[in-house]
Amino acid sequence: MTEPLILIQRDGDVAVLTFNDPQRLNAMTQAMGEAFAAQVAVLSSDTALRALVLTGAGRAFSAGGDLDMIQARADEGAAGPGIARRSIRDTMRAFYKLFLSVRDLPCPTIAAINGAAVGAGFCVSLACDVRIASSQAKLGLNFTRLGLQPGMGATWTLPRLVGPAHAAEILYSSRVFTGEEAARIGLVNRALDPDDVVSAARELANEFASNAPAAVRATKRALARSSDATLEDQLSFEAQEQAITFETRDAHEGIAAARERRAPKFSGE
């Protein structure tokens, strides 16, 4: 029986999704993308889910786009310069959306980068809210080394995380760097011993999950829109969302817990 390309493990209100094609270093194929998007769609409507960890089976997080697929697009482009451009554009745009569907999850997402994360594989980790990486992991965005314009949102997410100068250096050079270096420039939140990466990500997910779900989800929405908003616009959004959370039972519980100097017990209501 064929192993599923995406594994899901649920531990209460935290889920772990795992890319599961270790023999191919979790290369990103169409089939894997469709399986991933299907799982994300189910989880997106799960109101009990409070945090998600994304990782890879074996020694890689994801080695990036499947080379056979990339070769097919290159052959298609070379066979019909200009003619095939629209078809390739639409195909790649649809492919991006499968993996970037992780951005649709309303709960916090953590990429546990347990090993190599290259090209589009690294881009998926950049689409998560938080990244914890093995200090020894080989990371890189190698698009220009392949003769390609970066895709999978690389030119949008990267400068927002590390600023335009670091983003330009990383994308222009296509060089590979370690998780430790990524942590120094803020590209990952932490660089840890390889054996500690997934457990640390799960611990952080549990920490997120321990807070009021409505407040955490509203915070994620606020962070997502903040880079394109003015301060006045963001203040209005915060006030509106805060007004909604004031209506919840969890707000009363949180305030009561603070008064009583105890840990709150949030119900999600």
Q: What is the pLDDT of residues 25-37, one digit of tens each?
A: 999 999 999 999 9
Q: Say which residue, 180 or 77, is predicted with more confidence.
A: 180
- Report how far residue 86's alpha carbon sits from residue 84's, in angstroms, rounded to the nearest whole number: 6
Do both 70 and 201 map to the same domain? Answer: yes
Instruction: Please give the residue range of the domain that contains residue 66.
Output: 6-209
Is pLDDT at 81 greater than 90 in this prediction?
A: no
Do both 103 and 198 map to the same domain? Answer: yes
Do both 84 and 127 map to the same domain? Answer: yes
Do both 43 and 85 map to the same domain? Answer: yes
Residue 98 placed within a domain: yes
Residue 70 placed within a domain: yes
Do both 122 and 251 map to the same domain? Answer: no
Do both 116 and 219 map to the same domain? Answer: no
Q: Exposure of 58 by Cβ count < 10 A (0-12 exposed, 13-18 middle, 19+ buried)?
A: middle
Residue 236 placed within a domain: yes
Residue 71 placed within a domain: yes
Average the pLDDT over 134-150 and give the result: 95
Is pLDDT at 110 greater than 90 in this prediction?
A: yes
Do both 204 and 218 map to the same domain? Answer: no
Residue 123, Cα to own-chain centre: how many angstroms? Answer: 8
Number of structural domains the chain divides into:
2
- Give the domain-ending residue among 209, 226, 245: 209
pLDDT confidence tier of residue 80, bands split at 50, 70 and 90: confident
- Give the domain-ending residue among 171, 190, 209: 209
Tens of pLDDT, residues 188-211 = 999 999 999 999 999 999 999 999
pLDDT at 84: 86
pLDDT at 142: 95
Is pLDDT at 1 greater than 80 in this prediction?
A: no
Do both 36 and 161 map to the same domain? Answer: yes
Q: Which residue bears the tokens 């590390």? A: 162
- Report how far residue 111's alpha carbon sits from residue 147's, in angstroms, rounded to the nearest whole number: 27
Residue 28 placed within a domain: yes
Do both 42 and 75 map to the same domain? Answer: yes
- Please, what is the average pLDDT of the chain? 94
Tens of pLDDT, residues 178-190 = 999 999 999 999 9
Q: Say which residue, 9 or 81, is predicted with more confidence.
A: 9
Is pLDDT at 252 greater than 80 in this prediction?
A: yes
Q: Show the CA angle centred on residue 46, arms to residues 40 and 49, nearest 5°.
A: 90
Residue 266 placed within a domain: no
